[in-house]
Protein backbone atom coordinates (compact mmCIF):
# COMPACT_ATOMS: atom_id res chain seq x y z
CA UNK A 1 0.00 0.00 0.00
CA UNK A 2 2.79 2.38 0.86
CA UNK A 3 4.10 1.67 -2.62
CA UNK A 4 0.88 3.01 -4.02
CA UNK A 5 1.39 6.13 -1.98
CA UNK A 6 4.89 6.30 -3.39
CA UNK A 7 3.55 5.89 -6.90
CA UNK A 8 0.95 8.54 -6.25
CA UNK A 9 3.59 10.85 -4.88
CA UNK A 10 5.75 10.31 -7.94
CA UNK A 11 2.81 10.90 -10.26
CA UNK A 12 2.08 14.08 -8.36
CA UNK A 13 5.69 15.07 -8.81
CA UNK A 14 5.39 14.34 -12.52
CA UNK A 15 2.44 16.69 -12.72
CA UNK A 16 4.54 19.46 -11.36
CA UNK A 17 3.93 19.52 -7.62
CA UNK A 18 7.49 20.02 -6.49
CA UNK A 19 8.92 19.05 -3.12
CA UNK A 20 6.27 16.55 -2.15
CA UNK A 21 7.18 14.11 0.60
CA UNK A 22 6.53 10.42 0.68
CA UNK A 23 4.40 9.62 3.69
CA UNK A 24 3.69 6.13 4.93
CA UNK A 25 0.08 5.15 5.36
CA UNK A 26 -1.51 2.09 6.85
CA UNK A 27 -2.68 -0.61 4.45
CA UNK A 28 -6.25 0.06 3.37
CA UNK A 29 -7.20 -3.37 2.12
CA UNK A 30 -6.40 -7.01 2.74
CA UNK A 31 -4.75 -7.48 -0.62
CA UNK A 32 -1.54 -5.66 0.23
CA UNK A 33 1.38 -8.00 0.85
CA UNK A 34 2.31 -8.93 4.41
CA UNK A 35 4.49 -6.32 6.13
CA UNK A 36 7.02 -8.93 7.24
CA UNK A 37 9.68 -10.60 5.12
CA UNK A 38 7.14 -12.96 3.51
CA UNK A 39 5.64 -10.00 1.65
CA UNK A 40 8.96 -8.60 0.44
CA UNK A 41 9.07 -10.29 -2.94
CA UNK A 42 5.55 -9.18 -3.84
CA UNK A 43 6.22 -5.62 -2.73
CA UNK A 44 9.55 -5.43 -4.53
CA UNK A 45 7.97 -6.78 -7.72
CA UNK A 46 5.35 -4.03 -7.52
CA UNK A 47 7.97 -1.34 -6.95
CA UNK A 48 9.95 -2.61 -9.90
CA UNK A 49 7.04 -2.69 -12.29
CA UNK A 50 5.91 0.75 -11.12
CA UNK A 51 9.25 2.46 -11.29
CA UNK A 52 11.94 0.79 -13.37
CA UNK A 53 10.81 1.65 -16.90
CA UNK A 54 8.57 4.55 -16.01
CA UNK A 55 10.78 6.51 -13.62
CA UNK A 56 14.26 5.15 -13.06
CA UNK A 57 15.37 4.73 -16.68
CA UNK A 58 14.12 8.21 -17.71
CA UNK A 59 15.85 9.74 -14.68
CA UNK A 60 19.13 8.06 -15.53
CA UNK A 61 18.80 9.10 -19.18
CA UNK A 62 17.99 12.68 -18.20
CA UNK A 63 20.95 13.05 -15.85
CA UNK A 64 23.56 10.96 -17.65
CA UNK A 65 26.77 12.75 -18.52
CA UNK A 66 29.41 11.78 -21.08
CA UNK A 67 32.37 10.25 -19.19
CA UNK A 68 34.71 13.08 -20.20
CA UNK A 69 32.33 15.69 -18.73
CA UNK A 70 31.94 13.74 -15.50
CA UNK A 71 35.70 13.39 -15.20
CA UNK A 72 36.09 17.15 -15.48
CA UNK A 73 33.44 17.72 -12.80
CA UNK A 74 35.01 15.18 -10.47
CA UNK A 75 38.36 16.89 -10.80
CA UNK A 76 36.77 19.91 -9.12
CA UNK A 77 35.47 17.81 -6.20
CA UNK A 78 33.24 14.84 -5.49
CA UNK A 79 30.73 16.80 -3.39
CA UNK A 80 30.12 19.41 -6.07
CA UNK A 81 30.08 17.13 -9.10
CA UNK A 82 26.29 16.86 -9.14
CA UNK A 83 26.02 13.27 -7.96
CA UNK A 84 23.22 11.77 -5.95
CA UNK A 85 24.05 10.45 -2.53
CA UNK A 86 22.44 7.26 -1.25
CA UNK A 87 20.87 7.20 2.23
CA UNK A 88 22.89 9.39 4.59
CA UNK A 89 26.23 11.14 4.80
CA UNK A 90 28.20 7.90 4.94
CA UNK A 91 26.93 6.67 1.59
CA UNK A 92 28.61 6.79 -1.80
CA UNK A 93 27.85 9.38 -4.48
CA UNK A 94 26.10 8.03 -7.55
CA UNK A 95 26.47 9.38 -11.07
CA UNK A 96 24.65 8.54 -14.28
CA UNK A 97 26.99 8.10 -17.24
CA UNK A 98 26.31 7.52 -20.91
CA UNK A 99 28.67 7.28 -23.82
CA UNK A 100 30.68 5.15 -26.16
CA UNK A 101 34.06 3.55 -26.03
CA UNK A 102 36.25 0.73 -27.19
CA UNK A 103 36.34 -2.59 -25.36
CA UNK A 104 39.95 -3.10 -24.32
CA UNK A 105 39.40 -6.23 -22.26
CA UNK A 106 36.54 -8.62 -21.56
CA UNK A 107 36.11 -11.11 -18.73
CA UNK A 108 33.28 -13.39 -19.78
CA UNK A 109 34.31 -16.49 -17.81
CA UNK A 110 33.67 -15.20 -14.29
CA UNK A 111 30.16 -15.16 -12.83
CA UNK A 112 30.78 -11.43 -12.50
CA UNK A 113 31.33 -10.75 -16.20
CA UNK A 114 32.83 -7.39 -17.17
CA UNK A 115 34.01 -5.26 -20.08
CA UNK A 116 36.86 -2.79 -19.64
CA UNK A 117 36.19 0.22 -21.82
CA UNK A 118 38.43 3.01 -23.09
CA UNK A 119 36.50 6.22 -23.70
CA UNK A 120 39.29 8.71 -24.42
CA UNK A 121 41.28 6.86 -27.05
CA UNK A 122 44.42 6.15 -25.02
CA UNK A 123 43.84 2.38 -25.19
CA UNK A 124 43.64 2.25 -21.39
CA UNK A 125 40.51 1.24 -19.50
CA UNK A 126 38.48 4.14 -18.08
CA UNK A 127 35.53 2.21 -16.78
CA UNK A 128 34.44 -1.36 -16.13
CA UNK A 129 30.96 -2.31 -17.33
CA UNK A 130 29.30 -5.03 -15.26
CA UNK A 131 27.43 -7.61 -17.32
CA UNK A 132 26.21 -9.89 -14.55
CA UNK A 133 24.89 -12.27 -13.52
CA UNK A 134 26.78 -11.18 -10.38
CA UNK A 135 26.43 -7.39 -10.20
CA UNK A 136 28.25 -5.57 -7.42
CA UNK A 137 26.84 -2.68 -5.45
CA UNK A 138 23.47 -0.94 -5.34
CA UNK A 139 24.12 2.04 -7.61
CA UNK A 140 20.77 1.85 -9.42
CA UNK A 141 18.83 1.94 -6.16
CA UNK A 142 21.00 4.58 -4.54
CA UNK A 143 20.92 6.85 -7.57
CA UNK A 144 17.26 7.64 -6.92
CA UNK A 145 16.67 8.08 -3.16
CA UNK A 146 13.51 10.10 -3.85
CA UNK A 147 12.14 7.07 -5.66
CA UNK A 148 13.59 4.46 -3.30
CA UNK A 149 13.58 5.97 0.19
CA UNK A 150 15.25 3.78 2.83
CA UNK A 151 13.08 5.18 5.64
CA UNK A 152 9.95 3.81 3.98
CA UNK A 153 11.37 0.27 3.98
CA UNK A 154 10.98 -2.10 6.93
CA UNK A 155 14.68 -2.77 7.26
CA UNK A 156 17.94 -3.18 5.41
CA UNK A 157 16.92 -6.62 4.25
CA UNK A 158 13.90 -5.39 2.35
CA UNK A 159 15.93 -2.46 1.01
CA UNK A 160 18.72 -4.82 -0.05
CA UNK A 161 16.24 -7.03 -1.88
CA UNK A 162 15.23 -4.00 -3.92
CA UNK A 163 18.87 -3.27 -4.78
CA UNK A 164 19.39 -6.83 -5.89
CA UNK A 165 16.15 -6.87 -7.90
CA UNK A 166 17.13 -3.69 -9.74
CA UNK A 167 20.54 -5.17 -10.55
CA UNK A 168 18.96 -8.41 -11.77
CA UNK A 169 16.48 -6.51 -13.90
CA UNK A 170 19.26 -4.46 -15.51
CA UNK A 171 21.62 -7.40 -16.01
CA UNK A 172 18.78 -9.55 -17.36
CA UNK A 173 18.20 -7.06 -20.18
CA UNK A 174 21.79 -7.26 -21.43
CA UNK A 175 22.15 -9.17 -24.69
CA UNK A 176 25.63 -9.93 -25.93
CA UNK A 177 26.47 -11.51 -29.24
CA UNK A 178 28.66 -14.63 -29.24
CA UNK A 179 32.37 -14.13 -29.48
CA UNK A 180 35.01 -11.87 -28.03
CA UNK A 181 33.92 -8.21 -27.95
CA UNK A 182 37.49 -6.98 -27.42
CA UNK A 183 38.35 -4.21 -29.89
CA UNK A 184 34.70 -3.45 -30.69
CA UNK A 185 32.83 -0.26 -29.91
CA UNK A 186 30.30 -0.34 -27.08
CA UNK A 187 27.50 2.08 -26.27
CA UNK A 188 26.58 2.21 -22.61
CA UNK A 189 24.40 3.99 -20.07
CA UNK A 190 24.12 3.37 -16.35
CA UNK A 191 25.19 4.46 -12.89
CA UNK A 192 28.52 4.46 -11.08
CA UNK A 193 28.98 4.78 -7.31
CA UNK A 194 32.01 6.66 -6.00
CA UNK A 195 33.24 6.98 -2.42
CA UNK A 196 36.26 8.97 -3.48
CA UNK A 197 36.72 11.06 -6.62
CA UNK A 198 39.66 8.82 -7.51
CA UNK A 199 37.77 5.50 -7.21
CA UNK A 200 37.80 3.24 -10.26
CA UNK A 201 34.56 3.46 -12.24
CA UNK A 202 32.38 0.37 -12.01
CA UNK A 203 29.27 0.83 -14.12
CA UNK A 204 25.96 -0.86 -13.39
CA UNK A 205 24.53 -0.56 -16.88
CA UNK A 206 20.97 -0.06 -17.99
CA UNK A 207 22.11 -0.08 -21.62
CA UNK A 208 24.97 -2.06 -23.16
CA UNK A 209 25.22 -2.45 -26.92
CA UNK A 210 28.32 -3.83 -28.54
CA UNK A 211 28.62 -2.85 -32.20
CA UNK A 212 28.91 -5.86 -34.53
What does the radius of gyration of the chain's CA atoms come to, in whole angstroms? 18
111 binds other proteins (CB under 8 A): yes
Whether 105 and 115 have beta carbons less than 8 Å apart is answered as yes
Q: Which is nearer to other proteins, 88 or 183 (CB)?
A: 88
| 38 counts as binding other proteins under rule CB under 8 A | no
Nearest to other proteins of 80, 110 (CB atom): 110
Q: Does residue 133 touch other proteins according to CB under 8 A?
A: yes
Strand-pairing partners, residue 106, are 115
Distance CA 171, CA 43 (A): 20
Closest among 170, 155, 151, 136 to 48, alpha carbons compared: 170
Distance CA 207, CA 204 (A): 9
Under the criterion CB under 8 A, does residue 156 sit at the interface with other proteins?
A: yes
Residue 164 engages other proteins in binding (rule: CB under 8 A): yes
Among 75, 157, 173, 200, binds other proteins (CB under 8 A): 157
CA angle 15, 192, 208 (to 5 degrees): 85
- Under the binding rule (CB under 8 A), the answer on residue 89 touching other proteins is yes
154 binds other proteins (CB under 8 A): yes
What would the DSSP string read from start to end of 198-210? TSPEEEEEEEEEE
152 close to 56: Cβ distance less than 8 angstroms: no
Residue 86 contacts other proteins per CB under 8 A:
yes
Nearest distance from residue 62's CB to other proteins, in Å? 23
Least separation in angstroms between residue 38's CB and other proteins is 13
Least Å distance, CB 58 to other proteins, is 24
Site residues, other proteins (CB under 8 A) = 24, 86-92, 110-112, 133-134, 136-138, 149-157, 159-161, 163-164, 195
Amino acid sequence: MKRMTLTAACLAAAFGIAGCKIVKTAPADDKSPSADASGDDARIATILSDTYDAKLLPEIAAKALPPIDLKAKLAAGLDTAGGQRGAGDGAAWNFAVAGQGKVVAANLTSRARTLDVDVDGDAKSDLTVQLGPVVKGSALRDFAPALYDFTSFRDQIEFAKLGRALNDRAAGAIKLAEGDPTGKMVTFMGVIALRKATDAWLLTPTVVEVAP
